[in-house]
Amino acid sequence: MTALPEIGLGTWQNEDPKQCAESVRTALEMGYRHVDTAEFYGNEDAVGEGIARADVDRDEIFLATKVHPSATGVAYEEVLEAAENSRERLGVESLDLLYVHWPTGEYDPEETLPAFDELRESGLIEHVGVSNFEPYNLDRALDVLDVPLFANQIEMHPLLPQAELREYADEHDHHVVAYSPLARGDVFDVPEITEIAKKHGVSEAQVSLAWVRQKGAYPIPKATSEAHIRDNFGSLDLELDADDIAAIDAIDRTERHVDFDSAPWHHRPE
């Protein structure tokens, strides 16, 4: 598989155009090389502006976006149109990774996924991804796709470790990209994580991001201030020991922050 940068910048809810562009520029010039956005976020223009303003060559940046079922639809022609519109808004010649944002709404594997094959064949995208897919969704996607699946982007953090989906990714040779890797800030209130942070003289955010990485996933924390962008990036210097990992794995608390009735984990086949 193509190597993903170990950490990326998430941009969900980074809706102020000036702030979004500046956070992208700041992150790239600090050393980040993976930027994640989506059609549904409404900020692709600002993300593109940040990329253009950064003193970093485009070919050094791994840029990912997503097609959303409720935005333009996900039938074959609609996917092609959505991908082209995202490319134009981002101001780039091609996309490094395009995801199906959710397997919900109008998503139909036989309609949606052949368009991703076509986009990769045409060179508009380099890699095909899915987001928020459960094993049964992944099974069908792998049956339909002609090209390799590159990544499944899912909510993952110490309070939602996603062991089943990580194991599935290992078995089927694709990446796990972890959104909300700080559990929307809840990791700051977990005693086990705070204790490990004190032990290493780092923040709880760095502990959580290091844990995600050491589980084989690729975190994309959202941050807007330079201080938080820098702190998250500093997690790359942290290596947790076996006791740290065991303590986090033993946390008796489970939280999912992105959830709704039609989410795929509520509709697994019997």
Buried b (16+ CB within 10 A) or exposed e, 48-74: bbbbeebebeeeebbbbbbbbbebbbb
Distance CA(219)–CA(177), nearest Å, equals 6
Closest to 222 in 3D by CA, of 93, 49, 47, 74: 47
SS3 assignment, position 42: coil
Query: Side-chain half-sphere of 225: how many Cα atoms within 13 Å?
Result: 3
Helix H or strand E encompassing 167: helix 163-172
SS3 assignment, position 52: helix
Q: Which two tokens stand for residue 143?
A: 């049956």
Query: Which residues are the active-site residues?
Result: 41
Q: Which two tokens stand for residue 238?
A: 């942290």
Alpha-carbon 158 to chain mean position: 16
